[in-house]
Amino acid sequence: MTMQQLTGNLFMISAPSGAGKSSLIQALLAQHADMQVSVSHTTRAPRPGEHDGVHYHFVSVDHFKQQIEAGEFLEWAEVFGNYYGTSRHKIQQARQQGIDIFLDIDWQGARQIRQQEPSAIGIFILPPSLSALEQRLRTRGQDSDDVIAKRMAKANDEMSHVDEYDYVLINDDFQQSLASLSAIVLSQRQRLAQQQLRQAKILHQLLAKSSD
Ligand SMILES: Nc1nc2c(ncn2[C@@H]2O[C@H](COP(=O)(O)OP(=O)(O)O)[C@@H](O)[C@H]2O)c(=O)[nH]1
Ligand SMILES: Nc1ncnc2c1ncn2[C@@H]1O[C@H](COP(=O)(O)OP(=O)(O)O)[C@@H](O)[C@H]1O
């Protein structure tokens, strides 16, 4: 083992519901097999076609509260009346292996992560318009009218935090957005690799001096 700790990038992706973050992350992972997405815990019910352990870990409110007490979450938040949280252990494990990891989290979670991990990279996905956003939620066909209304009502609140993010993408043309997202990820990887190289050189010089 070297003195240099491997560290993967930590990407946080936020967006109002329906802007396209899950689709973009899945498409990105299909192109880059060496990245991972964090599977969150949630107390919301699975949508048709969602599977436990794949899209989310679906847990009861009691179970989620026990996990909070046990300090198992790197961050957690209440969104649309349900709890959502990121497992601390899974993130640490991936990053220590040098794997880039994506978190699909809301602005509250992103804020908590930034406090603990200032190097985390925030990407915000905007829809081309509010009407396009509502249309996407309807086309997705997985939420009732009530739920869609709730998500639309919260969209402005989520978007009011856009300035807290490092990058902003307007997801109009999907393929173009995917290419932009991929470019961000690759340039951040390059940046981190250079930082690690610089640190390794400094460490090397320090070790050489101490053995003089
Ligand atoms: N803070 C936090 N937010 C999460 C987490 N997982 C998902 N979310 C956010 O919860 C919100 C609702 O997610 P979801 O119910 O899957 O609905 P969708 O965004 O319409 O697909 C979105 O803003 C997600 O980014 C998490 O682990 N922590
Ligand atoms: N650029 C786009 N143009 C048109 N539809 C899109 C685009 N991006 C995503 N969608 C569609 O919008 C719906 C919501 O996308 P999804 O990824 O579930 O959003 P989120 O995860 O942000 O809630 C899905 O049906 C998806 O296929």
Residue 74: closest CA among 56, 98, 92: 92
Q: Are 71 and 96 in contact (CB under 8 A)?
A: no
On whether 20 is known to bind a ligand per the annotation, the reply is: yes
- CA-atom Rg of the chain in angstroms: 19
Q: What is the pLDDT of residues 197-206, one digit of tens each?
A: 888 888 888 8
Q: What is the ipTM of this complex?
A: 0.97
**Locus of tokens 């494990």:** 93
**Number of the ligand 1 atom closest to the C-alpha atom of 112:** 1
**Number of the ligand 2 atom closest to the C-alpha atom of 140:** 25
Return d(Cα 153, Cα 151) in angstroms, integer: 5
What domains, with CATH codes, occur in the chain? 10-38+100-210 (3.40.50.300)
Q: Tell me, what amino acid is at 5?
A: Q
Coil, helix or strand for 56? strand
The Å distance, Cα 105 to ligand 1 centre, comes to: 5
**Number of the ligand 2 atom closest to the C-alpha atom of 104:** 21
Q: How many CB atoms lie within 10 A of CB 126?
A: 20
Q: What is the pLDDT of residues 51-110, one digit of tens each?
A: 999 999 999 999 999 999 999 999 999 998 999 999 999 998 988 888 999 999 999 999
pLDDT at position 198: 86
pLDDT at position 206: 83
Q: Show the ligand 1 pocket: residues with CB < 6 angstroms.
A: 14, 17-18, 22, 40, 44, 75, 77, 79-80, 84-86, 104-106, 108-109
Q: Among the bound ligands, name the one nearest to the CA of residue 14.
A: 1
Per-residue pLDDT, averaged over 113-138, amounts to: 95
Structure tokens at 129: 């318009």
Task: Choose which residue among 54, 59, 90, 106 to substitute to test ligand 1 binding: the one with the highest number of ligand atoms within 8 A of its C-beta.
Answer: 106
Structure tokens at 152: 């639309």
Q: Among the bound ligands, name the one nearest to the CA of residue 170.
A: 2
As a whole number, the mean pLDDT across the chain is: 92
Per-residue pLDDT, averaged over 118-142, amounts to: 95
Q: What is the pLDDT of residues 8-29, one digit of tens each?
A: 899 999 999 999 999 999 999 9
Q: Among the bound ligands, name the one nearest to the CA of residue 126.
A: 2
On whether 8 is known to bind a ligand per the annotation, the reply is: no
Reported residue count of the chain is: 212
pLDDT at position 123: 98
pLDDT at position 5: 54
Structure tokens at 10: 């930590």
Band of pLDDT at residue 1, cut at 50, 70 and 90: very low
**Locus of tokens 């999907």:** 174
pLDDT at position 4: 45
Q: Which of 1-5, 149-153, 172-176 has the lowest mean pLDDT?
A: 1-5
Nearest CA to ligand 2 atom 24: 140
Greater pLDDT, 124 or 194: 124
The Å distance, Cα 110 to ligand 2 centre, comes to: 21
Rounded percentage of the chain residues whose pLDDT exceeds 70 = 97
